Amino acid sequence: MKLPYLILDVFTQNPLQGNALAVVPKADGLLDGEMQAIAREFNLSETVFLCKPQRERNSASVRIFTPYEELPFAGHPTVGAAVVLGLQNKVSALRIEEKVGLVTALFERTDRRRGEARFALPKLPVRIADLADRLALAQALGIEVEDIGCDMFKPAVFSAGVTFHLVPVRNADVLRRVSANRTAWNEVFHHDHHSAYVFTLTPDEPDNDIAARMFGMGLGEDPGTGSAAAALIGLLAEQEAGSGQFDRVLRQGVEMGRPCRIALQFRKQDDALTHGAIGGHAVVVAEGVLDLDE
């Protein structure tokens, strides 16, 4: 069995930056265990498998695997899948079936191997719990207690399909100094995947509004995490009063040398969150064939 594959860098227009993603475009017929084994072989944060959609009007059915498990939803695989489908099918609107639900995306081609995709969140973020123990958070992140918190933001747990512990810190210098303490990690960040999304506001940085780092999910640090950015929309929306549309740009991965730019958008009506979306660029950096013949 021979399967073509693509490697993309997502949340960037520049090769060898952003968050790398493997895409297997013709994955029909693969068993779940085979998909998991292939994702483990690529050993990237996620691998996407594109299959024929269950409904004819949709663009594709997408399966998303880390090296260790399948995910119902993830942001950078969704952006990457949308860019691949947009480039291959020369379409600007996509309907993608994921385990979390139907994802609608808009695609804009830049050139033969680059494009930008933005998609509406299939599930709006919801607050799961507070995170009140600042001392434990500080110890797990290797920072001081007074470094926890930014502006009006307080630590909390949110999910837009995947659960994240959202931890605001005082400024970008503190964010740079974060160092995961694995001894206390799972006890402090005990929801689901034990993932912490540490963020701060960046009023002194002209190209973005927010900076973030993501730790957990068995990946160490991840350079660009769309599902965490989607969860963060829930916390951001809580601090915006009234109705209207809000747009933010988030940077992630800078501390790893893999800078990512993630566009966030949300709308509120009568103080309730009614819409959320994330987006970014992606570039194809490699093509190849998996040779699985024995």
Distance, CA of 114 to CA of 18 (rounded, Å): 13
98 and 174 in one domain? Answer: no
70 and 35 in one domain? Answer: yes
Q: At 210, which CATH number?
A: 3.10.310.10
183 and 106 in one domain? Answer: no
Distance, CA of 82 to CA of 284 (rounded, Å): 12
DSSP 222-276: ES--HHHHHHHHHHHHHTS-SSEEEEEEEEESGGGT--EEEEEEEEEETTEEEEE
Q: What is the pTM of this model?
A: 0.95
Q: Which domain holds residue 10?
A: 2-120+281-291
Strands 210-215 and 196-201: antiparallel
Tokens 């991965």 belong to residue = 253
* Tokens at 91, concatenated: 């379409």
Terminal alpha carbon distance of the chain: 9
168 and 249 in one domain? Answer: yes
209 and 108 in one domain? Answer: no
Residue 46 annotated to the active site: yes
Tokens 């400024």 belong to residue = 171
110 and 16 in one domain? Answer: yes
18 and 108 in one domain? Answer: yes
88 and 159 in one domain? Answer: no
Distance, CA of 269 to CA of 201 (rounded, Å): 24
pLDDT of residue 230: 97
200 and 254 in one domain? Answer: yes
Catalytic residue of the set 41, 46, 69, 98: 46
218 and 143 in one domain? Answer: yes
pLDDT of residue 184: 85
144 and 97 in one domain? Answer: no
The number of distinct structural domains making up the chain is 2
Helix (H) or strand (E) holding 138: helix 134-141
DSSP 198: E
Q: How does pLDDT run along the chain (294 residues), one tens digit per residue? A: 899 999 999 999 999 999 999 999 999 999 999 999 999 999 999 999 999 999 999 999 999 999 999 999 999 999 999 999 999 999 999 999 999 999 999 999 999 999 999 999 999 999 999 999 999 999 999 999 999 999 999 999 999 999 999 999 999 999 999 999 988 899 999 998 899 999 999 999 999 999 999 998 766 899 999 999 999 999 999 999 889 999 999 999 999 999 999 999 999 999 899 999 999 999 999 999 999 987
135 and 275 in one domain? Answer: yes
